[in-house]
């Protein structure tokens, strides 16, 4: 998209919510003319003053491959802060096992969250007996569940998506439902196994 905008004398304005901003700024700033934080609702059209003399279009980031006919081929395409990545690498250096992150539910206000989520306790009871593997919680909203399931949990230290990305970058594998965590792992080029429900709505116009 950046290459096309440059070729056609266009401008790119990237707008995201605050928890995503630091990771987006580090990863995408060189490709965008401007990055902004928004509190606007999904789907709300917004056109800055200096864009009003141009033909302006708004598109969800995950819809770009549909319009461009391609997906990113350069991985990773998101880059967490190197200092944070190094700090987590040092903290996890004593763990010689395969390091696997788990994510078992998404936002509680997601209309399909009950259908895409999995109960952590039966899952953890099976996984805990696998030798040579350490399981880390990536579920920031449920430290009580992570603790009961005997997962290593650093999520209360993750204040932003950039922090989560730095931790995920030091894992060997992420296993999770179809939520931001799985997409983040893919963008960081970390192997991910995704648990999808009976209607993953890939290719459907509306979920």
**Domain count of the chain?**
2
For residue 75, being part of any structural domain is answered with no
Cα→Cα distances 145→45, 121, 152, 197, Å: 38, 8, 11, 21
Encode pLDDT of 23-43 as tens digits: 988 888 888 888 888 766 655
Encode pLDDT of 188-205 as tens digits: 999 999 988 777 655 444
Whether 88 has a pLDDT exceeding 70, the answer reads: yes
Task: Residue 142: give its domain's CATH number.
Answer: 3.40.50.2000
Question: Are 6 and 101 part of one and the same domain?
Answer: no
For residue 103, being part of any structural domain is answered with yes
Question: Are 96 and 186 part of one and the same domain?
Answer: yes
User: What's the rounded mean pLDDT across residues 151-163?
Assistant: 93
Its sign, for the CA torsion 31, 34, 37, 41, is: negative
Q: What is the mean pLDDT of the chain?
A: 85
Question: Are 101 and 161 part of one and the same domain?
Answer: yes
Q: 70-109: string of b/e by CB count within 10 Å (b at 16+)?
A: eeeeeebebbbbeebbeebeeebeeeeeebbbbbbbbeee
For residue 201, being part of any structural domain is answered with no
């Amino acid at each position: 998209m950046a290459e096309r905008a440059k070729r056609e004398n266009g401008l790119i304005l990237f707008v995201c919510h605050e928890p995503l901003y630091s990771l987006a700024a580090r990863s995408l700033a060189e490709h965008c003319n401007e990055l902004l934080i928004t509190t606007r609702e999904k789907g709300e059209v917004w056109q800055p003053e200096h864009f009003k003399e141009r033909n302006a279009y708004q598109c969800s980031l995950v819809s770009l491959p549909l319009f461009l006919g391609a997906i990113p081929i350069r991985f990773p395409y998101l880059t967490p802060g190197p200092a944070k990545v190094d700090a987590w690498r040092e903290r996890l250096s004593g763990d010689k096992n395969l390091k696997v992150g788990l994510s078992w539910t998404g936002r509680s206000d997601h209309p399909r969250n009950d259908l895409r989520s999995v109960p952590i306790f039966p899952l953890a009871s099976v996984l805990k007996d696998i030798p040579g593997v350490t399981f880390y919680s990536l579920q920031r909203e449920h430290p009580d569940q992570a603790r009961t399931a005997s997962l290593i949990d650093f999520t209360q230290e993750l204040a932003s998506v950039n922090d989560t990305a730095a931790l995920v970058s030091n894992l060997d594998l992420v296993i999770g439902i179809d939520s931001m965590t799985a997409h983040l792992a893919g963008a960081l080029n970390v192997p991910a196994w995704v648990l999808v429900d009976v209607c993953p709505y890939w290719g459907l116009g509306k979920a």
